[in-house]
Amino acid sequence: MTNAVIRFEGVEKTYPSRAGTAAVPALTDVNLTVPEAAIVGVIGRSGAGKSTLIRLVNGLEAPTSGRVVVDGTDITALSEPGLREARRSIGMIFQHFNLLARRTAYQNVALPLEIAGVSAREIKARVEPLLDLVGLADKRDRYPAELSGGQKQRVGIARALATRPRVLLSDEATSALDPETTNQILALLRKVNAELKLTVLLITHEMAVIKAVADRVAVLDGGRIVEEGRTFELFARPQHPTTRSFISAITGANLPPHLADRIQAAPIPGGQAVLRIVFTGAHATDPVLSRVSRLLSIDLNIIQAQVDDIAGEPFGVIVVSLPGDAATLGAVTAAIERLGLATEVIGYVS
């Protein structure tokens, strides 16, 4: 069992009522563990409680009840000086980078070290390798206004690493970036995670971010974690409707419009069932469909097929239609699941 670097234990957070408004329950019974050197993602829609959750880790918010333990220290029990000390081992990056406009890249990265009273010589010895690490050695004397979004976030990452934290918190760090730059920044996060054995907790509203970097993911909905597990498992076998809707946006479970318009939840006499089959790992290239169709003498019509990569593992989704009667459907799903693949009936069409 690996060490838990961040642990939420029975965390509740309710914002007090303001004049005339009811109290807002932002987090309810949150239990979550971030193992050492892992990248854990928390995904949720706007208002789900993501910012509240991440702000509890560096003590910017205090829970109403429960504990948040970081690196063995109960953050909720610390006084202000204790918190300042603890924050030195917790780096953070932000959606809008939060760089100081009047400081160069170098000076922005140096700032936390200046605040900590580190000597100019030691600062230089730390900042230069960090600028190298994030690929910005040639931009050290540029001001934020002279840098692209991706370059600004690189400065943000170097600054967050300056105090040699064990934990990096990422608050929607790629939400303001285009898809290509997003991928570059996510690759950099993976690199620093691997090279520095850094433990990363990130919050996002984009499943593509989770898919690209997170080892594990928690789905936050209305302040509760409704599902949590290995990213790959979650993609392969999503249980909660919220998880499914996040995933369907990117794994091809989005049906072609001509089908999406006609699909119904209940079986239609004489109609067809629409089945989603997830191929994972070793099975990804198995000719499962032809085997099943031959074995059972049933025609499976492929509606959509897509092969993808989730946290480095091959992952395929195929959507097929087949006769929608319970007997056929039962036989086909059983045969496919015996071969180790996951199935889900998406609905029925006439």
Closest approach of ligand ADP to the CB of residue 58, in Å: 14
Which residues lie across from 305 on neighbouring strands? 318
Nearer to ligand ADP, 44 or 252 (CB): 44
In Å, how far are 43, 124, 153, 219 from 247, measured between CA atoms?
11, 44, 26, 11
| Strand runs labelled E in the chain | 4-15, 24-35, 39-43, 65-70, 73-74, 90-94, 167-171, 199-204, 216-221, 224-230, 272-280, 301-310, 313-323, 342-349
CA distance 96 to 202: 15
Identify which of 203, 216, 220, 206 has the alpha carbon closest to the alpha carbon of residue 168. Answer: 203
Euclidean distance between CA atoms 318 and 187, whole angstroms: 28
Considering beta carbons, is residue 223 or 347 the nearer one to ligand ADP? 223
- Least spacing, CB of residue 26 vs ligand ADP, in Å: 4
How far is it, in rounded angstroms, from Cα 316 to Cα 281? 9
In the complex, the residues that contact ligand ADP under the rule CB under 6 A are 15, 24, 26, 44, 46-52
Closer to ligand ADP at the Cβ: 66 or 135?
Answer: 66
Smallest distance from ligand ADP to CB 16, Å: 8
- Smaller CB separation from ligand ADP, 26 or 341: 26
Min dist. Cβ of residue 320 to ligand ADP (A) = 36
Dist. CA 317–CA 342, nearest whole Å: 10
Q: How far is the CB of 44 from ligand ADP (least distance, A)?
A: 5
Q: Which residue has the tokens 């049933």?
A: 298
Q: Which helix (H) or strand (E) holds 112?
A: helix 105-115
Give the shortest CB-213-to-ligand ADP separation in angstroms.
19
Least gap, CB of 42 to ligand ADP (angstroms): 9
Query: β-pairing, 65-70 with 39-43?
Result: unpaired
For ligand ADP, which is the closer residue by CB, 61 or 71?
61
Closer residue to ligand ADP (CB): 171 or 215: 171
Q: Which is nearer to ligand ADP, 24 or 331 (CB)?
A: 24
In sequence order, which ranges of 197-319 are alpha helices (DSSP H)? 207-213, 231-236, 241-248, 257-260, 288-296
CA distances from 312 to 43, 131, 281, 315 (A): 19, 27, 10, 9
* CA atoms of 119 and 182, how far apart (whole Å): 34
Q: Which is nearer to ligand ADP, 59 or 347 (CB)?
A: 59
Query: What is the smallest separation between the CB atom of 168 and ligand ADP, expressed in angstroms?
Result: 18
- Rounded Cα gap, residues 192 and 184, in angstroms: 12
Least distance to ligand ADP from the beta carbon of 181, Å?
22
**Do residues 203 and 170 make contact, with C-beta atoms less than 8 angstroms apart?**
yes
| CB nearer to ligand ADP: pick between 51 and 183 | 51
